Structure 1
């Protein structure tokens, strides 16, 4: 199989222009947008770097006077001056010469745009992740992939689509196998009421395909699915996807040095696809986790999991019981409150809930216009958004032993976030001390996933909503019996109980010497991988979203997606350029890497004993999901394979 050229050039990200713009729209946009990114546009268009010195000084004075209201938010008088300058410089008649900054200038611009101290190690990372055009450079010559060198990609969600784009760009043949009847992964399956992404829209997207048209600052599930479909269409991915085709297993052929990938076609027949490499893009949260409750089979109403939503079920005017208070549950409750006749929310342990004023807010049309038309504004807006939702939070989950010994929070930085959450809780429910007590966790923020409030706390105070800090004891024909003896009448039971965490234990993978991945990983009880991606004994097998690769302190799955795809593609390019057939990590390199992971994780709240029932930890209590590194450090580790850590096959 050969790979056709996929349209769309990732190396030339679009730069918009104000030329021929409607003067009124331009004026309105300048008045509506964030001043930091707008100031960077002026530097690009004028080449005047003295603007940076001037406004850095203004911001410093404002901080000294305590005029700044939030991290990265310009004080009013500074913002007003930026806009005044922009009105003077930007005009529909202007055809600017766009000045592309070198690394030194880019770093200075990043610091002023965020009003924060960013280290020089972030420059290449932020250039890429913010979606800037790469600096002119001589791309190394790569040998073309040999005839028949092709890759099997398992899954057509965020990572699978990304892998398709990356492999095609590298000239490597591939096929994507997707078990469902549509692309989109998580966002094609999760259609429950209120389904949304809890990472900002303008960051939670591919760095090579920025979207200026998000309607909300945090995208709804349907809008994010539409974005993924757009990317798949633009880059011709659909032509390489086999829908309704389930991968049953993969077996390594030691003589021919390739994988036999067994797939089940839509008609039910089994076929074998031969591939030099396999990239799994299935994620780790796939199978719905539904607790086994006595009497469940007797329920006469409807019971459904949020990941198996039935849109035909009528919820308005019904008695609904929701089990859970995680990210999904709060979205469902916020949406159903006021629609259901009565809504009962049952949960074992509360989460820390943080206020986020934009989580349900729409993006003003003037802002969208600016993102589309003002040169480089979109890239700088994305950079600022990313900075304050990613490594800026790196210290929050890290333990200060002295502080942790005397506080619920684990450090001063962690406590600062906890106080924000407590303030929000008291502001929303201050006249309901019973609910405040019920919804106050007894563990540090970040030990379990932080929840951004979509209106859950406001819903909790309604007369037709009741919260119960307990769990189900049994289910009866017309309702639920709780562990405290209380009975709740129900027409509908909603399992907002998340997923079974699966590190490929649903896939039969046989590596060298007949060893299975299930055996290697002790049937997913404690999986380990080199860099969170590859496993000794499994050549050319790339596990995206593997153990200890999730950036739980901040960022998003989109960053991990791009990092893992980049590493897989660069490893395959390395093999092709050097004339090797396959590579796998050595046992020594894998053990050394995981020793470093464990040592670093021991200093974090992800090992906190009060959160043993969260999916961040395995049955033995080890934090097996979280990545311990800063995003920039992990990104740097994955730029290229280290030959010294690899066992190479001829």
Structure 2
């Protein structure tokens, strides 16, 4: 373990107008946490405990002005003079008490290690700093597929752990999803201050939910800081992976920018290509015959100008909602084709800019960005888990699975009725008939406002065919348009994409998984494919809330622990056992009937055509964190 963060090391701060502005504008519960962290003044927690409420409580947080002023004054004095600064870091009990008060509800002991690691207080392991850690064998090489979030995490941590590695990236730059997705309005559902690497908590977000360009800027800055590009081979695609049992090596065939192929021989492969970069076109007759541009949101042309155009958008999920909100004011007319309505949540801060004072606090007040990250994690991640766990008392209910889930549904319904009070036709079209959270929700960032514009029409009668000059609905009506935009998602179920992966005895992972039935151990390993690690794999997606960044980090940690077992034992490779694989999949299958995604009315890309939930992790993020500290003894074999 690393040492606990010591914010006091950067004190005192100079008194300045910027500090005064930061104390006036910054989040108060976070200022409270910083003050108690630095001072160990637990009495201040008692004064605030009755004022701070959980994120989704019916009664909101309300801190009296005099109490807020007293906190700001005490913290200001401590920051600029150092007086009242405690010696050493808080003990774990005080940390836990600070966490509980700042989020308005108990934070149990099981969350403490996750909070230490994910919020930068005490990273789980910095392998470069472990005393006595032996260097890794010079001839042991790891190949990483993809330089998106997971691939970048793998590269940084492999470097830290002393492994030789190479990253193969099909694009010209790092960023993955955020390099590729550039459609107008593209953004992130996960709050900015949690959706980042735990070891690179960024203070420079412009919005509380990052826009796509901000997300890509963060990725680029991380790549710059860690010098990642020296080990990345850009504009290169991985095509085939073949395992040789005798040598324990993988031969990886890549295609270079000039079209030639090359074989790379490595000890291990970490596949970080992710499930959301292989977009799919809708299966609609006549799509290829349209006379104008037909584009997908995930492949947005840089030179596409929609001003004054007649535009059709196919789809109403997250990408479509972001796009429509952004382009509706500038197009001549816009028809949106909806197959299924989605639950829409009003998040008042979705478009909020981070104030200058808040940004200054994040950059300069010691400990502030770490504590704010914890506050965001708690509200946006495991705090939402009760929405997706079925309460047996609610079995048979068509529209909710628990009391909290019904409360969340009513909140969304109230917002829907409020926005469209004068448009009962839109209320009817936009009201889902399934429980909220049983498929991905949409955060409203201009979507509902766009649907109220006179130049926007929501069509839900279904598409019959595409004509050369427009779209014909199933009722025979025709919308003539200049551009068709397909916001129709990704082929998530085909998790290998176009990769060919051959394991022991010529086993073919693509054939075993087929088009839609991927299975693994912990979303990472399959027996018969030693030293092949498939990140963000089957049943590892955090579909109850934010947290893909955490899942990626946890999987990278587990994989490096697995590789360490190989190198420390002088073995050739690591393979999960059939028993562990079978037990794990039985455990997942037994859990799924308890989850909202299995509700009779649920239908989402989380499930395959046989209604097997192949994508979702059916427990909390803290459970994934705890499960991935190291491979369980007895769950694997080392080949020598």
TM-score (norm 1): 0.94
CA distance in 2, matches of 1:83, 1:275: 60
1:399 deviates by 1.6
Verify the 8 A CA contact 2:204 2:359 in the aligned structure 1: yes
Question: In 2 relative to 1, CA 241–80 (structure 1 residues): closer, same or farther, beyond 3 Å?
Answer: farther
Pick one of 587, 591, 602 that aligns with 1:596. Answer: 587
Distance in 2 separating the partners of 1:25 and 1:516:
60
Kept in 2: contact 1:35–1:74 (CA 8 A): no
Which residue of the other structure, out of 81, 84, 93, is the alignment partner of 1:94?
Answer: 81
**1:6 matched residue in structure 2:** none
Of 486, 498, 508, the residue aligned with 1:506 is 498
Give the equivalent residue in structure 2 for 1:372.
363
Retained in 2: the 8 A contact 1:303–1:492? yes
Could you tell me how far 1:313 is from its partner in structure 2?
A: 1.8
The CA distance in 2 between the partners of 1:78 and 1:359, in whole Å, is 26
Shift of 1:140: 6.0
Q: Does 1:45 align with 2:49?
A: no
Q: How many residues align structurally?
A: 633
Which residue of structure 1 lines up, in the alignment, with residue 410 of structure 2? 419
Distance 1:343 1:21 in 2: 54
1:383-462 alignment, distance < 5 Å: 383-462=374-453
CA contact under 8 A between 2:435 and 2:602: conserved in structure 1? no
Deviation at residue 377 of structure 1 after TM alignment: 1.2
Q: How does 1:81-480 map to 2 (within 5 A)?
A: 81-91=67-77, 93-95=80-82, 96=85, 99-134=88-123, 139=130, 141-480=132-471
The aligned counterpart of 1:633 is: 623
Deviates more, 1:81-90 or 1:467-476: 81-90
Q: Secondary structure at the match of 2:281?
A: coil
Cα distance in structure 2, aligned partners of 1:438 and 1:619: 25
Pair 1:301–1:18, CA change in 2 (3 A): farther
Change in 2 beyond 3 A, CA 1:83/1:529: farther
Distance 2:455 2:125 in 1: 61
Tell me, what secondary structure is at the counterpart of 1:76? coil
Task: Give the gaps of 5 or more residues in structure 1.
Answer: 1-9
Per-residue Cα deviation, 1:526-549 (whole angstroms, up to 9, x for no partner): 111111111100001110000000
Change (3 A) 1:14 1:47: closer
| Cα deviation, residue 298, structure 1 | 2.5
Query: How far 1:14 sits from its partner (Å)?
Result: 8.8
Shift of 1:94: 2.0
3-state SS of paired residue (1:360):
coil
**SS at 1:44 equivalent:** helix
Is residue 2:639 matched to residue 1:649? Answer: yes
Deviation at 1:74, TM superposition (A): 7.0
Q: Measure the CA separation in 1 of the matches of 2:97 and 2:74.
A: 23
The 1:418–1:136 alpha-carbon spacing in structure 2 relative to 1, beyond 3 Å, is closer
**Displacement after TM superposition at 1:72 (Å):** 11
The answer on whether the counterparts of 2:575 and 2:636 sit within 8 Å (CA) in structure 1 is yes
Structure 2 CA distance for partners of 1:136 and 1:80, relative to 1, 3 Å: farther
What is the TM-score when the length of structure 2 is the normalising length? 0.95
Aligned partners of 2:398 and 2:601 also within 8 Å: no
CA shift for structure 1 position 208: 0.3
Give the whole-Å Cα distance in 2 for the aligned partners of 1:366 and 1:147.
48
What is the Cα deviation at residue 135 of structure 1? 8.9
What is the alpha-carbon distance in structure 2 between the residues aligned to residue 12 and residue 166 of structure 1?
20
Distance in 2 between residues matched to 1:80 and 1:354, nearest whole Å: 34
Distance (Å, rounded) in 2 between the aligned partners of 1:14 and 1:244: 42
Shift of 1:136: 11
CA apart distance, 1:575: 1.7
**Distance change >3 Å, CA 568–CA 241, structure 1 → 2:** same
1:543 and 1:114 map into 2 onto residues whose CA distance is 35
- Cα shift readout 1:200-251 (whole Å, capped 9, x = no counterpart): 0000011000111100111111110010010011011111000011111111
Match of 2:614 in 1: 624
Q: Is the Cα contact below 8 Å between 2:48 and 2:63 reproduced in 1?
A: no
Query: Displacement of 1:11 after TM fit?
Result: 7.8
Q: 1:408 to 1:197 in 2, by over 3 A?
A: same
Deviations 1:313-355 (A, max 9, x none): 2201111010111110000000011110011110110110000
Q: How big is the alpha-carbon RMSD for the aligned residues of Structure 1 and Structure 2?
A: 2.2
Match of 2:576 among 585, 595, 599: 585
C-alpha displacement of 1:411: 1.4
SS in 2 for 1:576: helix
By how many angstroms is 1:22 displaced? 4.3
Distance in 2 of aligned mates of 1:119 and 1:524: 41
1:32 pairs, out of 15, 25, 33, with: 25
Residues 398, 434 of structure 2: 8 Å contact kept: no
Residue 345 of structure 2 contacts residue 444 of structure 2 at CA under 8 Å; is this kept in 1?
yes
Instruction: Map Cα deviations across residues 429-467 of structure 1 (whole Å, 9 max, x no partner).
Output: 111111011000000011110110011111111111110
Cα–Cα, structure 1 residues 135 and 622, in superposed 2: closer, same or farther, change >3 Å? closer
Alignment pair present for 1:533 and 2:524 = yes
1:265: Cα distance to partner? 1.4
2:511 to 491, 516, 519: 519
Answer yes or no: is the 8 Å Cα contact 1:196–1:221 preserved in 2: yes
Cα distance in 1 for partners of 2:601, 2:213 equals 35
Match of 1:602, SS state, is: helix
Deviation track 1:359-411 (CA, whole Å, cap 9, x = no partner) reads 11110010000111112111111101100111111110122243242441121
